[in-house]
Structure 1
Amino acid sequence: MSDLVSILTPTFNAEKYIRATIESVQNQSYQNWEMILIDDASTDKTVKIIKEFAQGDDRIKLFKLEKNCGNGFARNAALEKATGKYIAYLDADDIWFPEKLEKQIQFLKINKQHFTFSFYDCIDEEGNDLNRKVESPNPLTYKQLFFCNYVGNLTAIYDVDYFGKITLQATQKRQDWRIWLTILKQIKTAKPVPESLAFYRIRKDSVSSSKFKLIKHNFGVYREFHGYNFVFSVLLMMRFLFTQLIIKPKYIKKS
């Protein structure tokens, strides 16, 4: 019997994208999964669309929050309900390639690893391919991750039997980066599946598209999560920006 994968998907007003996201999970060659969708008080048709899928597929599980609590809170709520051996993340506007889970589970087993991720391609808001492939160092070390989040949230998968369920405060921004840092602190290096296995949707209104917000949230990772003092956090942030502007672009290729 193949191991169950729990896919965590927070949703908020995602009616434009959620259909393609869920279909990309249903189209997986690896079929033993549960998709836990936590709706963060959407005001559009998101819930209605998810319900249609859930009626025809009992692996799709919808839970609704009474009031809007934010992505981090919704993700934690999904994690609480997860029963799989593996945890995988998929945001409500991203899309997996059909072989994604199969290749990653195989990779974990063959290499006796407990965490992996992959490269990914980028699409725009309308779903057009931007011919941009985002790679990462291979292997990825804790130090490299410390100065730049090379792990695409939509590509990560970890073994709950090994790490337990990794929860972080819901209020913290850059929650995903903090999770990978927690994992790499334990295992020192991680190997990606060295190919694109997902499409990341770049949206105009997303946090990652607002440079100023991003600097603030990343600074918070050094200041609050790692607990460094203000001056040292500023110095680390300068190194982070150098990595972001000079080193990371080397890992962005034409797909």
Structure 2
Amino acid sequence: MHSRKPWLALNKLIQIYINRDEIFLALLCSLESLRLNCKQNEIFERARSLTEQFKIRFPDRLLEDRITVSVIMPTNRESLEIKEAVQSVLNQTFQDFELIVVNDGGPREIQNTVESFRSNKIRYFRLDHRAGPGAARNQGILEALGKYLAYLDDDDVYYPHHLETLVGLLKESQSKFGYTNMVKIIGSLNQGRFKPNRTDTVWDVPFDRGTMVSRAYMGTNTVLHEKGILEEIGLFNEKLFPGEDEDLWIRCAARYDFKHISQCTSEYRRKDDNSVRLHVLDCAFNGLLYRKYYAFSRGQIAFIKCFLAQNDEKQADALYQGIKKQYSHSFKTVFVVEQVIKIARHFNDKVFLKQLAHDYRHLSAGHSK
């Protein structure tokens, strides 16, 4: 019904998300609606209000580093799979770590499963109510004693050299964020245990900011980063699911270069009750929205278009100068540079247009910076 005016469908979603207290998704819909049609004064004011309402949570404090790595595992179910996940962490060749298991409002029997390992490397916490994987990981972060943070979902596994590989990568490169490859295994549960059927894909993509806002290519299980960067970046977005992990990685990439090592060190196990499979449409839609949000300077390009439509050159220019200042570290893709070129032409910014034209030709030729 709205195929020729897609912003109308987005406008309906704004109120739906507001009613669900999903402010971030409401904001994303409003900004994409304005990018498609900037002459919507009511949506413009709604977007500005939502921008003020939405705030990423930052840690009040992070605990002092006492060990090298804290592995954070959110869970909300009692199953044999979590035993495999926990055992894969305990089997690491690099042993200066702790495993923080956060029960996200699930059954109390999970604690019995965790304690059955009788390991002093495991610390267990429980949230009183279901808050989502972002909130559970955040709780783990606030309790973490490691210099570095790693993550593992309760139905996936590390290979034994996972932590050793990543710690070595960050120390050798003196980087703050690194990731490895991950293999996706398709399978099913047989009496509570994962039975692999076939190998689907191996995620093996070098770091590139432009690619990050085009598609997902980095698994949560593959990541290791310094805990301290979250004081600048903020924590996981607790109002976003699915996609809260990729959202954080994109925010990190806006500040830091990532180091990638082409070694497969973990398994992502896909089955019928996998959270991504159960929420496949939400995952695709949310991903499309938040990637555009960061690609288009967190909504600033949409706001510039609206101010120009209202002949408010002063406000538009102020935002434009901010985009120019951050451009060298921005998420450059063909569709982003095209949008910035239109704005730069409006301001007759010949020097910047020359740089944009060079980047556009480079990206159009199939290369990325």
Which category of TM-score, normalised to the shorter sequence, fits these structures? 0.7 to 0.9
CA contact (8 A) 2:236 2:245 kept: no
Cα RMSD after superposing both structures: 2.4
1:16-53 Cα shifts (integer Å, max 9, x gaps):
31100110011000001111111012237433211212
1:119·1:133 contact (CA, 8 Å) conserved in 2? no
Q: CA separation of 1:199/1:147 partners in 2, compared to 1, >3 Å: closer, same or farther?
A: same
Contact kept in structure 1, 2:102 and 2:125, CA below 8 Å = yes
Q: 1:213 matched to which residue of 2?
A: 282
Q: Percent identity?
A: 22
Asked whether the equivalents of residues 14 and 92 of structure 1 are also in contact (C-alpha less than 8 Å), the reply is: no
Q: Residues of 2 paired with 1:161 and 1:70: CA distance? A: 23
Contact 1:14 1:93 in 2 (8 A): no
> Any conservation in 2 of the 1:13–1:44 contact (CA below 8 Å)?
no
Question: Post-superposition shift, 1:191?
Answer: 2.8
Structure 2 counterpart of 1:199, from 258, 262, 267: 267
User: Residue 299 of structure 2 is aligned with which of 227, 230, 250?
Assistant: 227
Greater helix proportion: 2
User: Partner of 2:72 in structure 1?
Assistant: 8
What SS does structure 2 have at the residue aligned with 1:170?
coil
Q: C-alpha deviations, 1:157-207, integer Å up to 9, x for none? A: 1012455474033121211111111111112x4232201100111121334
Partners of 2:214 and 2:291 within 8 A in 1: no
How far residue 79 of structure 1 moved from its aligned partner, in angstroms, is 0.8
CA contact (8 A) 2:114 2:124 kept: yes
The size of the alignment, in residue pairs, is 227
Aligned-residue offset at 1:146: 1.1
Provide the C-alpha distance between the structure 1 equivalents of 2:228 and 2:119, rounded to a whole number of angstroms. Answer: 26
Structure 1, unmatched stretches of 5+, are: 233-238, 240-255
1:64/1:191 CA distance change after superposition, 3 Å: same
Stretch deviating more after TM superposition (214-223 or 56-65) = 214-223
- 2:137–2:236: 8 Å Cα contact kept in structure 1? no
1:156 matched residue in structure 2? 223
Deviations 1:124-144 (A, max 9, x none): 232416223422322x11111
Higher relative contact order (CA 8 A, sep 6+): 1
- Higher Rg of the two aligned structures: 2
Distance 1:96 1:166 in 2: 26
TM (normalized to structure 2)? 0.57
For the residues of structure 2 that align with 1:5 and 1:104, how far apart are their CA atoms? 10
Aligned to 1:250: none
| Corresponding letter in the other structure for 2:105 | A
The answer to whether residue 83 in structure 2 is matched with residue 19 in structure 1 is yes
Shift of residue 112, structure 1, vs aligned partner = 2.0
Structure 2 stretches lacking a partner, 5+ long: 1-65, 189-193, 306-334, 336-369
Give 2:253's aligned residue. Answer: 184
* Corresponding position of 2:94: 30
> Aligned AA for 2:285?
K
Question: Residue 140 of structure 2 aligns to which amino acid in structure 1?
Answer: A
CA deviations 1:94-141 (Å, max 9, x no partner) are: 100001100111111112221111111223232416223422322x11
* In 2: Cα distance, 1:141 partner to 1:169 partner: 22
- TM-score, normalised on structure 1? 0.80
